[in-house]
Amino acid sequence: MRIVVLVSGTGSNLQAVIDAVQSGELPVEIAAVGADRPGTYGVERSAAAGIPTFEVDFKDYPDRAEWNAALTEAVAAYSPDVVVSSGFMRIVSPAFIDAFRGRYLNTHPALLPAFPGAHGVHDALAYGVKVTGCTVHWADAGVDTGPIIAQEAVDIEPEDTEDTLHERIKVVERRLLVATLRQLALAPALPN
């Protein structure tokens, strides 16, 4: 199974995938890693591991539609079986979703459908829930919607801050992403 991973930041989930591939735990080929801006540590991690990288800088395009078209073309050039949104903080267009329908995997630091959007950890703390977690799902044209593949709960401790909770969620998220990719790679065929 060939994957393209999209990142916007440090790429800690990506590093878990790279490590699992290099150890033989995860039978996938990371065809490329792409970012929505220059200078991400996720791209640096990939380059250091010998993985092809690309950047489609949002600021280089006059509007969202042209950026989405360029991103779609860049990702499609690597013929991925699955595209992994791993801390990729841009909402992609319906045309991007259509190009990779049923093959665009997203991770989210909350138990969807609760607390979608860019502030899932903050929102869970602010609401006062006692349990949150992470979700791996097939992305669709909505924000953090689409069929859920896997979830795992994380208890909220009384002393948790947004940072401490997010770090504990990330540990679970890395493991869940690798396990989900392994399950998909070993499946007879990707679901439609």
pLDDT in tens, 135-187: 999 999 888 899 999 999 999 999 999 999 999 999 999 999 999 999 999 98
Sorted by where each begins, the domain ranges of the chain are 2-186
Query: Considering the entire predicted model, what is its pTM?
Result: 0.93
- Residues serving a catalytic function are 108
Beta bridge partners of 153: 133
- Is the Cβ–Cβ distance between 76 and 103 less than 8 Å? no
The overall longest dimension of the chain from CA atoms, in Å, is 47
- Provide the sign of the torsion angle of the four alpha carbons 131, 121, 113, 134, taken in this order: negative
2-186, CATH topology level: Rossmann fold (3.40.50)
Residue whose pair of structure tokens reads 């990702």 in the numeric block: 75
Mind listing the pLDDT tens digit for each residue in 56-102? 999 999 999 999 999 999 999 999 999 999 889 888 999 999 999 99
